[in-house]
Structure 1
Amino acid sequence: MSILKIYEYPEPVLRQETKKITEFDENLTQLVNDMGETMYDAPGIGLAAPQVGKSVKLIIVDTSKDREEKKEFMAMVNPEIISHEGKQLDEEGCLSVPELTANVNRYKRITVAYQDLQGTPHELTTEDRFAVVLQHEIDHLNGILFLDHLSSLKRNLYKKKVKKWLKQ
């Protein structure tokens, strides 16, 4: 396993269209394991393949009950939100959008269709914080950053900050 580079806004890979995964092999398993190591090293609670420079439909999310004792995550291949209900406002941050947290409106409850690492289809219904994490990571697969959910004022202030960093 190895720690991968996490791409940060405004890297173009974060906006690229992702491809559906059709090969469920050792390369996919290796990518998932590397993403897990990268996510925990960052540290984060979710990571999408575009964030590590791979334009494929793959996310991982932390499922640990106690991260100090045992770190556990699940991989979701080709995830897609197939139903949703309600609304909630929750604070988010992103490994690809450093030094920014903000409240974002998301669905309260979602059902996600996905495949596991063997290609077997599953559905998962969840709500509250875990639903927020899944929506955030699935957005990455569609070239959407949580920054895109903010007001134009907050978004523009952050963009100015990034331009300043890039000049230095």
Structure 2
Amino acid sequence: MAKISHVEIFAKFQKIERVMIKEIVTYPTPPSVQYATDVRVFNEEIESLIEDLKDTIKANSLEALAAFQIGSYFNIVVVAQDGGEFLELINPRIINPHGRVTTIEKTAYFPNLSAEVTRYETISLVYQDRELQQHSLKADGAFSILLQRKVDYTFGSTFLNKLNKVEKKLFQKKLEFGSDLAISEVCPTTFKRDYIIKVINIIMIVMVVLLLSSLFVDKELWSYQGYLALSAFGLNIVYFFYAQYEGKRFTSCTSCQIGNIIGTAVISLIKLSLITLLSYFIM
């Protein structure tokens, strides 16, 4: 049997030792810095950090990691590519963003959670390599979204700061439950569309008052009644389509919402039709 020299054993030991899988920073641990520190000198510390990012990406089957995500304050992002290769982005900066696109995003900082985020559709990115030579690239589609999300971390930020008021409120509820699935079971009891129904009901009450008034006064009121009926009918149409749009935001209760929307619209139209017919024959 061939003997293994001490040098070979030491080399193999170093190779095994070098695999450093770091713990990924997750919510609620806050960002360690507001802005990442640019790399001014590429040394062993930076090389080790980049290798740690690669090992952690491979171990967790991730697309990319920013240095912040493993607790470092350097401005570095590593992106996994096909064939086991990696794109090393040192001191990345986004320039020339164009267009807007809304997508569903996930990130390791918020495990098991997703959010609807609006970002730039296409970007250009300037960065440096290990020799601190300047490079640039253009990105669109999913790659553009990925790069924007990772660069967010270099500013001590997450996609939470990109959400609109409605989505942020929904995402904060997801944080309380700890998963998208939990929040999907929570169906709201009130909607903005309810205000449309309230206006329609007020119009129909006015129509009933006019109908009763016509029994005691000689003044012609039918023209007013006709305008009110047309207004209520138009609002019913608006309610039907807007309610469906609003209902799509809560997928867990979509089926019951559709039934409720149709039922509410039909009942409202039946009441409006009865009042209008009575008004036509009496007034």
TM class, shorter-length: 0.7 to 0.9
Residues 160 and 168 in structure 2, CA contact (< 8 A), matched pair in contact too: no
Structure 2 counterparts to residues 135-146 of structure 1, below 5 A: 135-146=148-159
1:88 Cα shift?
1.6
Q: Hey, which bits of structure 1, 4+ residues long, moved more than 3 A?
A: 13-16
More helix by share: 2
Partner of 2:170: 154
1:155 Cα shift?
2.9
1:97 aligns with 2:113: no
Query: C-alpha deviations, 1:127-148, integer Å up to 9, x for none?
Result: 1111111000000111111222
Instruction: Please give the secondary structure, in 1, of the residue aligned with 2:27.
Output: coil
Gaps of 5+ in 1: 65-69, 163-168
Larger RCO (CA within 8 A; separation ≥ 6):
1
More strand by share: 1
1:63 aligns with 2:104: no
The one-letter code of the counterpart of 2:97 is H
The one-letter code of the counterpart of 2:69 is Q
Instruction: Please give the secondary structure, in 1, of the residue aligned with 2:23.
Output: coil
Partner of 1:108: 121
Partner of 1:67: none
Query: C-alpha deviations, 1:99-136, integer Å up to 9, x for none?
Result: 10223111111001110122111111111111111000
1:39 Cα shift?
1.2
Aligned-residue sequence identity (percent) comes to 29
Query: C-alpha deviations, 1:61-103, integer Å up to 9, x for none?
Result: 1221xxxxx3222110110011110112222111111010223
Aligned counterparts of 1:96 and 1:131: Cα–Cα separation in 2: 19
**TM-score, reference length from structure 2:** 0.53
Gaps of 5+ in 2: 1-18, 179-283
1:14 Cα shift?
5.0
Aligned residues: 157
Aligned counterparts of 1:111 and 1:17: Cα–Cα separation in 2: 20
**TM-score, reference length from structure 1:** 0.86
Q: Quick check: which has more Rg, 1 or 2?
A: 2
